[in-house]
């Protein structure tokens, strides 16, 4: 796809850690994308992640039909454990300074390792931050909206494969019970889906029990005999090695960057497994935040935009089917069409 517009690597004055902000595209509007605080073997791996994730945010907005662009911030955490609260505050203030320096070309939000309280702290320095707690005028936790948007995507796939948008009786395997994964598992359980769940944290068993779901160890979930596999944790779970193990008919989940490389989409297609691109499935969080905070639409209209993911997925599957392409290709073409349309000079034919 397109190359990045701007990448900033700035070593924070307080934390001494490199803050990496990747702005992929502002062709459709100012860039948005979360702040990821995570461990990587090397800071360059964090940079590579920021580059990939910000490009995915561009596609997320373009496919959702929203006037926004793609960006992402990554700070590579040292060592293995959590940051102590003081250090964490330093990191967040360093991030806030970098965002402020970008003058509104990019706004951040929550992502892996961050939440609304972190956004509140960033908001003390710069207004370019989504999902602050409601008491501070933000739209709060984005994960319930991401979960609802993911369910909308699942409905479209359910209709195509089984002729019904209801999740009742469908066998689904949810990988990852973080804020989004657990929320989605709850929605699915409430609708009567037959759930298998896992998490790297054994405490997830408690959620499994509460939902009447089957618990499966993390290393067994990919090969679970289910209708739909729902990746809801970290990325790169679909690889040349894992795709042959799958026993599902579709992979549809909100985890970012599920494919280890883009050609894995073709492997899935050849196995007859429907894969809906993660950036389409996971768009609910950012759609709600941008709609309510930036476009100032009411909660109902924002919610309708989130639920429209069902129509988007319907159309992608339809286009893919008609043209013998993967849904990934169909999504990429749609995104490029919208981005090219936006960058055409005014008055051009
Ligand atoms: N983690 C969110 C995503 O990947 C990022 C985000 C949410 C950004 C809400 C802004 C607002 O879409």
Interface ipTM above 0.90: yes
Check if 60 is active-site. no
Say whether pLDDT at 138 is over 60: yes
Looking at residue 209, which CATH number applies to its domain? Answer: 3.40.50.720
DSSP state of 108: B
Residues in contact with 327: Cβ distance below 8 Å, sequence separation at least 6, in sequence order: 274, 275, 276, 277, 313, 316, 317, 320
CA of 18 from ligand 1 middle (Å) equals 21
Question: What SS3 state is found at 242?
Answer: coil
Cα 170 from Cα 101, distance rounded (Å): 49
Domain termination residue (choose one: 91, 109, 136)? 136
The number of domains in the chain is 2
**Residue 263 is assigned to a structural domain of this protein:** yes
Looking from the CA of residue 112, the nearest atom of ligand 1 is 1
Say how far apart CA 129 and CA 110 lie, in whole Å. Answer: 9
Residue-wise pLDDT for 200-251, tens only, equals 999 999 999 999 999 999 999 999 999 999 999 877 899 999 999 999 999 9
How many residues in total does the chain contain?
A: 349
Q: Are residues 26 and 109 in the same domain?
A: yes
Q: Could you tell me if 276 and 131 lie in one domain? A: no
Give the closest residue (by CA) to ligand 1 atom 5. Answer: 34
From the list 60, 72, 168, 240, the catalytic residue is 72
Per-residue model confidence (pLDDT) at position 347: 42
Residues 28 and 128 in one domain: yes
With respect to residue 211, please indicate whether it lies within any of the assigned structural domains. Answer: yes
In a domain, 201, yes or no: yes
Residues with CB under 6 Å of ligand 1 are 32-34, 109-111, 130-131, 142, 256, 282, 285-286, 289
pLDDT digits (tens, 9 = 90+) for 71-85: 999 999 988 888 999
Query: Is residue 42 in some structural domain?
Result: yes
Mean pLDDT of 17-34: 97
> Within this chain, do residues 43 and 174 fall inside the same structural domain, yes or no?
no
Final residue in a domain of this structure, among 102, 136, 170: 136
Q: Which domain holds residue 108?
A: 6-58+72-136
Q: Do 160 and 130 fall within a single domain?
A: no
Which positions ≥6 away from 346 have C-beta within 8 Å?
none
Retrieve residue 282's tokens. 């996971």
Same domain? For 109 and 242 the reply is: no
Could you report the per-residue pLDDT of 282-312, keeping only the tens digit for each? 999 999 999 999 999 999 999 999 999 999 9
Assess if residue 289 is contained within a domain.
no
Q: How far apart, in whole angstroms, are the C-alpha atoms of residue 147 and residue 291?
A: 17
Domain end among 113, 136, 159: 136
């Amino acid at each position: 796809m397109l190359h990045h517009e701007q990448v900033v690597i700035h070593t924070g004055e307080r934390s001494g850690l490199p803050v990496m902000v990747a702005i992929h595209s502002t062709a459709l509007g100012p860039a948005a994308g979360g702040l990821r605080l995570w461990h990587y073997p090397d800071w360059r791996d964090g940079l590579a992640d920021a580059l990939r994730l910000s490009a995915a945010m561009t596609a997320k907005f373009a496919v959702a039909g929203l006037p926004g662009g793609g960006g992402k911030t990554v700070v590579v955490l040292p060592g293995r454990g959590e940051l102590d609260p003081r250090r964490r505050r330093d990191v967040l203030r360093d991030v806030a300074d970098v965002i402020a320096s970008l003058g509104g070309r990019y706004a951040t939000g929550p992502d892996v390792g961050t939440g609304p309280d972190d956004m509140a702290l960033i908001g003390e320095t710069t207004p370019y931050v989504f999902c602050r707690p409601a008491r501070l005028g933000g739209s709060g936790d984005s994960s319930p909206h991401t979960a609802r948007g993911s369910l909308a995507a699942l409905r479209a796939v359910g209709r195509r494969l089984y002729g019904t948008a209801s999740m009742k009786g469908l066998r689904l395997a949810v990988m990852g019970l973080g804020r989004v994964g657990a929320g989605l598992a709850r929605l699915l359980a409430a609708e009567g889906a037959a759930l298998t769940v896992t998490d790297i944290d054994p405490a997830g068993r408690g959620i499994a029990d509460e939902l009447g779901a089957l618990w499966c160890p993390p290393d067994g979930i990919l090969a679970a005999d289910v209708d739909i596999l729902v990746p809801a944790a970290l990325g790169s779970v679909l690889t040349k090695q894992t795709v042959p193990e799958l026993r599902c008919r579709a992979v549809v989940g909100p985890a970012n960057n599920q494919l280890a490389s883009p050609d894995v989409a073709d492997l899935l297609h050849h196995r007859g497994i429907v894969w809906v691109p993660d950036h389409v499935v996971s768009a609910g969080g950012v759609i709600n935040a941008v709609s309510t905070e930036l476009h100032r639409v009411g909660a109902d209209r924002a919610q309708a935009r989130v639920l429209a993911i069902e129509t988007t997925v319907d159309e992608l599957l339809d286009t893919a089917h008609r043209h013998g392409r993967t849904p990934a290709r169909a999504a990429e073409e749609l995104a490029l069409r919208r981005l090219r349309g936006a960058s055409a000079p005014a008055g051009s034919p």
